[in-house]
Amino acid sequence: MKRLLIDLDACSQCDECGMLCSYTQHHYNNGITNLREFAHFAIVCRRCDDAPCVASCPWEALEMQETKMLKRYMMRCTSCKSCSRACPFGVIYPETIPFVISRCDFCLGRLRGDELPICLQSCAHGGIKYADLEENEEESVFKASDYLLVKTDYKWDRVKEPPKKR
């Protein structure tokens, strides 16, 4: 199955993302901002028990779900960036919280034959790939969802078993 792979380390080298996007719902859509936030929540967020990002939001727009994955309610978020300042680990980048949000639908159902998403063709930094790819922890490639893999060396060492009490 073909998946998008976003390389967060390559993305972080780029000052201003000029990636094109063919999502049809709004003209200035830049789906990569949406993917970057999702990738950070899925792979980089440390899932704090007290979640200062959630506590800092004046509009209850952030929620720590039962799965310990953060969710941002776009219709409540005013892009005040308080959550970005509150996170002690730098997980929430201010530029991925625009007031007018972007979406990525992985171009599902819109690609014909060997056609590639337009974002691949417009990123000069190799931040996005689209191919038959699988999770590969040795190469720092992690699955964030059925359609999205994330490559980054800036992951934290996730504890697979809870530490034993002393």
Using CB under 6 A, list all residues that contact ligand SF4.
45-48, 51-53, 56-57, 59, 61-62, 70, 72, 77-83, 87, 89, 91-92, 97
Least distance to ligand SF4, CB of residue 89, Å: 4
Q: Using an 8 Å Cβ cutoff, are 133 and 141 in contact?
A: yes
Q: Using an 8 Å Cβ cutoff, are 126 and 10 in contact?
A: yes
Q: Using an 8 Å Cβ cutoff, are 52 and 88 in contact?
A: yes
* β-bridge mates for residue 70, sequence order: 64
Nearer Cβ to ligand SF4 (11/53): 53
Q: Which two tokens stand for residue 2?
A: 């073909």
Give Rg (Cα) of the chain: 16
Least distance to ligand SF4, CB of residue 87, Å: 3
Nearer Cβ to ligand SF4 (56/140): 56
Least distance to ligand SF4, CB of residue 25, Å: 20
Least distance to ligand SF4, CB of residue 5, Å: 22
